Structures are given as structure tokens and as C-alpha cells.
């Protein structure tokens, strides 16, 4: 069985090659190691091998791991976040990738205000239109951004999507291309105060295609830790 360090070396090589294929600087792409169902010792291995950003899917699991690992890494929340679980993540998560409703945004604004912080967020967009996916529809995005621009304790930093699970990563390309176009549209036409710094798209099975289509933040679990997600 390959070590976490070996897996990371392989993933970083693939990120670099995907970026170079389309004339991009590989250092512009942030790797978030997704640690759902991953033990703390395995996460320690990843940190030793140079991982700086950890992504969790479950609020209470994230909090438990934060209590063990602390601020040695930057914490991301990448899974669907229920409103009643916001209290577990706002205190320590740097970036929440999955804000997908006004109700959730309001609760995050309230919790962040009470904690005296500005919570950085990405807005999740369901580009593929799959009923099983969370996220705003592309047509809802601009109105949603307008609605939350007055929130003083939320900072929109970009967009996120999840492509359908397909055998051929090329089948995910239209989803990634569509989100990149939305990203560029928000940059040009979005409300004041909304930043488009991060385009979070691409997981173990499709991250190379995502990078070719403009992703600058990939969320990889299985490729690093070898667990089924």
C-alpha cells in the first residue's frame, strides 16, 4: 500500500502537469486534502508531507479533529452544511465552500457576528442540474449575491460546484466550463464587495479536467488517503 506522502507526491505531479498543459502556474492551484473518515494519525502524515489545507464534510467531525490538530493547518468546510450545525464550524473554519441558501447565509452571518469574525464563504452552484446535488441554480446566483451583500460578517470569496460522478472525467468538462463562465460573469457584473478569488471545483476523479477549465482550488480525499468517499 502506498503511503500518504507517496500519494501526495503523485497528486501534486498531476496538478502540475494539468496546469502546464493549459499554460497555468501550478503554484496558483490550492490543494485541499479532504479528510472525511480519515484518522488523525493519517492527517498528521499528510501535514508532515506538506499539506497546509484540510477540508471536512461533517461539522462535528471537523470540530473534533480541530481540537486535536489545532491551527497548524487552514480548515475548510466542504460538505453540505445544515443550519443547525453552523455553530460547530464558524469559530475555526477559514473557508466554507458550500453556502447554498439564504437561510444558511443568515445563520452564518448571525454566528459570525456573535463570534466577532468575518466568515469567508464560497457559494455553491448546481451547474449540472442533478436533483441529488446541493447548490443554487445558475439563474439564482446573481440575485442571491445581491441579497447577501449587506451582510457585514460574510465575505464571498468565490464559487464551488460538484460535478456528476462519471467514469470518464471528460464528461464533467461542460460543468466546470459553465462554472468558470459564471465566475467570470460575477467578476464583471457582480455586486460590489463580492470577490471572485477561488473557483473550487475538481475532486479525485476529475480534478485534472477541472484545472484545465480554470479551477484554482481542488478538493482531494481518495487520491491522498485511499478511502472511498
Reported as a single tens digit per residue, the pLDDT across 49-77 is 999 999 999 999 999 999 999 999 999 99
- Specify the length of the chain in residues: 229
Q: What is the pLDDT of residues 138-161, one digit of tens each?
A: 999 999 999 999 999 999 999 999
161, 125 contact by CB (below 8 A): yes
Secondary structure (3-state) at 181: helix
pTM, full prediction? 0.95
Angle at 197 between CA 70 and CA 134, to 5 degrees: 75
144, 136 contact by CB (below 8 A): yes
Secondary structure (3-state) at 216: coil
> What's the average model confidence in pLDDT over 159-185?
94
The CATH-assigned architecture of domain 4-225 is Alpha-Beta Barrel (3.20)
* Cα–Cα distance for residue pair 184/188, rounded to 1 Å: 6
Which pLDDT belongs to residue 228? 44
pLDDT confidence band for 134 (50 / 70 / 90): confident
> What's the average model confidence in pLDDT over 161-167?
89
* Cα–Cα distance for residue pair 81/104, rounded to 1 Å: 8
* β-pairing verdict for 30-34 and 53-56: parallel
Instruction: Please give the biggest Cα pair distance in the chain.
Output: 51
* Cα–Cα distance for residue pair 98/91, rounded to 1 Å: 16
Cβ count within 10 A of residue 87: 15
Helix 40-48, helix 59-69: angle, nearest 10 = 60
Amino acid at each position: 500500500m502506498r503511503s500518504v506522502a507517496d500519494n501526495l507526491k503523485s497528486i501534486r505531479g498531476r496538478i502540475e502537469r494539468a496546469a502546464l498543459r493549459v499554460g497555468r502556474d501550478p503554484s496558483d492551484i490550492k490543494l485541499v486534502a479532504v479528510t472525511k473518515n480519515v484518522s488523525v494519525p493519517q492527517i498528521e502524515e499528510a501535514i508532515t508531507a506538506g499539506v497546509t489545507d484540510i477540508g471536512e464534510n461533517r461539522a462535528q467531525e471537523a470540530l473534533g479533529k480541530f481540537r486535536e490538530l489545532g491551527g497548524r493547518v487552514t480548515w475548510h468546510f466542504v460538505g453540505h452544511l445544515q443550519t443547525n450545525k453552523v455553530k460547530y464550524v464558524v469559530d475555526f473554519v477559514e473557508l466554507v465552500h458550500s453556502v447554498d441558501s439564504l437561510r444558511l447565509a443568515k445563520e452564518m452571518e448571525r454566528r459570525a457576528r456573535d463570534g466577532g469574525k468575518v466568515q469567508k464563504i464560497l457559494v455553491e452552484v448546481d451547474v449540472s442540474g442533478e436533483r441529488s446535488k446541493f447548490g443554487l441554480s445558475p439563474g439564482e446566483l446573481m440575485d442571491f449575491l445581491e441579497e447577501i451583500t449587506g451582510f457585514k460578517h460574510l465575505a464571498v470569496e468565490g464559487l464551488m460546484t460538484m460535478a456528476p460522478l462519471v467514469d470518464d472525467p471528460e464528461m464533467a468538462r461542460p460543468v466546470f466550463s459553465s462554472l468558470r463562465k459564471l465566475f467570470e460573469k460575477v467578476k464583471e457584473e457582480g455586486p460590489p464587495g463580492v470577490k471572485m478569488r477561488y473557483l473550487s471545483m475538481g475532486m479525485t476523479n476529475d480534478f485534472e479536467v477541472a484545472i484545465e477549465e480554470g479551477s484554482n482550488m481542488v478538493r482531494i480525499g481518495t487520491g491522498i488517503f485511499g478511502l472511498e468517499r
